[in-house]
Each structure stands twice: as structure tokens, then as C-alpha cells.
Structure 1
């Protein structure tokens, strides 16, 4: 039986902040590695199996946004961006490149821990029980909940980012129901967000490009103006 602890990589160039966070996460039962820059991060990723990366945006040898984009292109690893920046654009870009969450310094360690645990719960590491659905089928598509993979009839599977999977799973769990942005945000993250946050719209746009024949004229994920979105396909759970 595999009893390996969940392994987190903390990438932060400020030594005191990094050491404090590493110690805090270790006391919470995680196996924690640390890196002071992009070079050390890549070395750790090559040597160890990492489940989640806490990635500071401002690093001395590379930009965290670029690193998150490269990480997502290569793997399905959990990514939480940590930054002192407060610009809304950074948060949107972070989601667009595939980061799962975003937290701004200074943060409460308990809040960060809650987000880490929430992401790990939603990450697919915990598989459905025998009483839960293992797949949602709609149109020509099958969303495999165990593998977090989207499969079209007669085609290869499409690997989804965590945000894409969480959003599509939420839609297919409540077909035909208007879901507000507030509701959707609560079901893909536990972070603080503002009414102007466009993360949901960005993810919907990415799902439409995958699912729709014409993303500009969607028939599956419809916009309910002033209310949110509605998944218009019939869904069979199995």
C-alpha cells in the first residue's frame, strides 16, 4: 500500500518567508521541499514526485507566470501562485496559463493551508467511492471523473487543467440549471475574489473551444445574461 505523504514544493526566493512556510506545512503533515529560484525548482521536479507547487511570481531568474505556463504544458501538477502583486491582470493571466489558484501577500497561513487542502481534494487524488458516478456522458463526450479526462467518441482523450475539470464537472452535475458566477467560483476555488474577477469567463471560453463546433456560437455552455451560465446538454451519470 502506498503511504507516501502529499509532497509540496515551496518556490520562494525570500529565505525567511520560505522557511516559515515550509515549517508550517510540515507541522500540518505534508512532505515539503523548497526552492529559492527557478533552477532549484526544476531540479526538485526532476528528482522528486511533486503533488503541488506553491510558486512565487517574483523570482530572481524567471517569472512565475512563465514557469506556471511551462509546468502546465508538461504536467497536471497542482499550482498555486503566490505574489505581492495586487493587479487583477496577474490573476487573470495566472488562470489563463493554467494555475489552479492565486493568493496575494501578506496572507494568513491558515487561509493558504485551506486552499492547499481544497485543491488537493479537488485534484483527482481522492477517487470517487463505489456509490459515486465515475463518468458524465453528454453528446459525443465522456468526462471521466477518476482520470479527469475528457473523451470524444473515436478520438484521443483531452487532458483538462484542474480548473477546466472542476468547472465542467460542476456544469455536468447540474445540467439545465442556471449557475451564477458566485456559485461556479465557489465550486472551483476557495479564494477571495471580487465581482470583477473574470476567472470563470476565461475557463468557460477555454471549455467552449474544446467542446463546441463553433465557440463563437455555443450550443452547449450558454450564457444567461445577468445571471451566469447554463449547461444545455442532457447528461448521463454512470
Structure 2
């Protein structure tokens, strides 16, 4: 179903054309007890709304650099695909001072102020909740995104040769290269359609981004994405793997 997809956005479209009701991202935060499960359709809706926010309200242009200062989180996965869909270059952990836009979690707001362009803040609260008091100099994602459109169409087509992802260290991958690496990572992880991968890796490099979203998406699989997994006792981790029908873990 995904063999001909040439961009990350096309991978998501292919997943929607299959079984849109199946889980894609199941997120746990073991510091707060939060659990969120997003189907392919729900995840795609968040991506569409976020891409519309990027393109229309924030004025992002194809090729703009988006510094993503966020931990491994379901909302980070949404921003990653939204950036790819809008044609911006997503830079996880990138330098805000060198970026056209920045998206920050609550712990990196001071650093994010170095960005001279648009700034968006995520509270990372359960259920996508907003900040009690919006941070000065930032748009609150939870306030801005609900009113965005449920469908997204880029003003300019985003093809496989468009720059898409800047990895820590400066390597830039095109959209097509992201897809190719995602498929390669899926094969290395032994992911097949329907697999459930549990990942506790940070989104600070390719391995974490692949395990946390891109490889399962490329393989028609799903991910159980865990933040603060080191706080979960071994017996509870075993119970989670059983309850979530995990077939692989990293």
C-alpha cells in the first residue's frame, strides 16, 4: 500500500487509504500517567490542522527552517509530519537563532526566544491542554490549532526532492530520502504491517525519529511512544507490552 509513496505526506495519505481507524501512535508519559491513542485518521487530522496553521497563520514558506524544540511526544510527531507536508525543513533540536520559525515545549522557552520569526509554544499537558497563562512572545498551540481546517493542501507541491529534515550535525535529507531511510529503518527493526513497536528513544536523532514515527508509518505498523520510560518499573513495562500487543521494542 505504501510502496509507491515518495514523500512522508504521501505515506500518511496511503495509510489513510488503508485502515484509517487503526492505531498509529499510542503515547505514554510515565511522569504524569498520561495515555493518548491516535488512530491514523485522528493523527492525520492533527497534521492537517497543524500544517494549515504553519502555512496560513504563521506564513511558513517552502524551504523555511523550523526549529523543533520538543521531546518525544505525540504532538512532536504531529509537527514533524505537518512540517513535511508544508514543505518546511524541520530541524529537531535546531538552533532557534538560525531558524525562520520555532516550536518549543515549556522547558525550552527561553532558548526559543532567540528565533526572530514566529514562535509557537506547546504546554505538553494531558489531552493537548493549553498553558494556564500564555508565554510572552509565543502563540499557544492549543489555542491556535483547534480552529484550523481539517484538510490541508500546500500552496506549492512538495516533491521528493524538496529538503525536509535537518538532523543534528547538519545533514539535510530530502522528503524522498526521509521515506527511503524510514523504509530501511523499518526493515532493520523487523517491522511488518500490523506490527506494534514500543520506543522510549528521544527525538534527538534519526534513530529516535524513525522508531517514534517514521519507520512504523512506512511499514503500515504502529508505535507505542513512551516518554520518561525509565520511571516505569520492569514488571509494569512487561504488563504494558502485553496490554498494547507490542511485537518489537527499542
State the TM-score, normalizing by the size of structure 2.
0.25
- Larger RCO, structure (CA 8 Å, separation 6 or more): 2
State the TM-score, normalizing by the size of structure 1.
0.25
Larger radius of gyration: 1
